[in-house]
């Protein structure tokens, strides 16, 4: 099987990125889109030359869809993912997998029961500076990773929150900076450091009075390997500054990546403001490589639209995983880890104490 029939659920801003990839990738036969808003679905379908549906199961059945991308608002990820899997389609979900652990587990269980692949978008894993950090850790260049830090300082204004009715609400978005902007960095922290043992966190809304959800969160973490970590994420810095993930090893060496320069991009609205770059590297014997790698990183950034490019690579990986009958780059279980972490941070403030892992529903 060299090509598979694909479809999209969710005809919004993120859906544009997925649809472009599904249309252009050689392994994809893009056939249909689905959205609860009939007019949006039909207009979207006309632009991409596919059919429009209002029901996921009907779409999968009538079009004989083999793989579905889900790019709906966050709280609406679970239902279409479950419907698609139950109907027999492999499913790739935009981050986060869901906004609750219960929903995550239901999606994962549905995929297992139907014997279909389940993947979650986390395209920053594919950035070359991120890959460089991961390789250094896996090759033992810093020894055991003992300290990991996430700092993401961005900005979202009132116009952003007004751009879609679900944004900035607990009911529609399921959370704020932890659910929407920070999942990429939370994913990378665990990918680099390994399983978490315990989290203590705080969160709040510091300067967005018209918004329900948190715009800032901080946490301290203890990892199963004995290491420690910290998370500082916020949408309250104007202009947005950066997103960074740094890892320090037991041999004293440090490696790190600036995943975002300025505020994180808004899918379908704004551009990436600065290239992902290797911004910290003290591996013995490789200290002089930092400037060289940064030059390479900046050149890579200019070669293609990074928003579409890395989504396209991950979507291609997922389609290849279906064709080759292997696990995708980021599985449903991997995606669940991010939800588990932000759930623990929310819960820690609620109980005014640390939250042990695994986090119960």
User: Looking at the whole model, is its pTM more than 0.85?
Assistant: yes
pLDDT tens-digit readout, 321-350: 999 999 999 999 999 999 999 999 999 999
- 295 membership: H or E segment, kind and range: helix 289-303
pLDDT at residue number 269? 54
Could you state, in order of their start, the residue ranges of all structural domains in the chain? Answer: 4-123+311-331, 128-304+339-351
Under CATH, domain 128-304+339-351 is a member of which superfamily? Answer: Dihydrodipicolinate Reductase; domain 2 (3.30.360.10)
User: Is the pLDDT reported for residue 14 higher than 60?
Assistant: yes
Contact present, 245 and 148 (Cβ < 8 Å):
yes
pLDDT tens-digit readout, 195-204: 999 999 999 9
Contact present, 329 and 316 (Cβ < 8 Å):
no
What does the block give as tokens for 172? 């529609």
Torsion angles phi and psi, residue 219, rounded to 5: -160, 150
In CATH, 4-123+311-331 is 3.40.50.720: yes
């Amino acid at each position: 099987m060299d090509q598979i029939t694909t479809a999209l659920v969710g005809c919004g801003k993120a859906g544009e990125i997925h649809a472009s990839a599904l249309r252009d990738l050689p392994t994809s036969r893009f056939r249909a889109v689905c959205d609860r808003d009939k007019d949006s679905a039909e207009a979207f379908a006309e632009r991409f030359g596919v059919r429009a549906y209002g029901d996921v199961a009907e779409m999968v059945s009538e079009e004989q869809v083999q793989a579905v991308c889900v790019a709906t608002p966050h709280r609406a990820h679970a239902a279409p993912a479950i419907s698609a899997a139950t109907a027999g389609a492999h499913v790739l979900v935009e981050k986060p997998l869901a906004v609750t652990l219960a929903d995550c587990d239901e999606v994962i269980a549905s995929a297992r029961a139907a014997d279909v692949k389940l993947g979650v978008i986390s395209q920053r894993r594919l950035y070359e500076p991120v890959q460089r950090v991961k390789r250094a850790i896996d090759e033992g260049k810093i020894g055991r990773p003992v300290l990991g830090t996430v700092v993401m300082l961005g900005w979202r204004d009132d116009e952003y929150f007004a751009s879609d009715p679900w944004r900035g609400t607990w009911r529609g978005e399921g959370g704020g900076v932890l659910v929407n902007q920070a999942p990429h960095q939370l994913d990378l922290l665990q990918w680099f450091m390994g399983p978490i043992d315990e989290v203590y966190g705080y969160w709040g809304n510091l300067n967005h009075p018209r918004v329900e959800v948190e715009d800032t969160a901080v946490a301290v973490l203890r990892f199963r390997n004995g290491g420690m970590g910290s998370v500082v994420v916020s949408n309250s810095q104007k202009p947005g500054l950066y997103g960074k993930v740094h890892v320090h090893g037991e041999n004293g060496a440090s490696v790190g990546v600036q995943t975002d320069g300025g505020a994180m991009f808004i899918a379908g609205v704004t551009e990436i403001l600065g290239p992902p770059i290797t911004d910290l590297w003290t591996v013995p014997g490789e200290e002089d490589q930092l400037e060289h790698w940064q030059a390479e990183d900046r050149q890579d950034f200019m070669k293609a639209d990074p928003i579409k490019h890395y989504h396209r690579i991950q979507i291609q990986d997922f389609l290849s995983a279906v064709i080759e009958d292997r696990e995708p780059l980021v599985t449903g279980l991997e995606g669940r880890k991010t939800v588990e972490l932000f759930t623990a941070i929310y819960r820690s403030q609620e109980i005014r104490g640390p939250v042990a892992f695994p986090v119960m529903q």
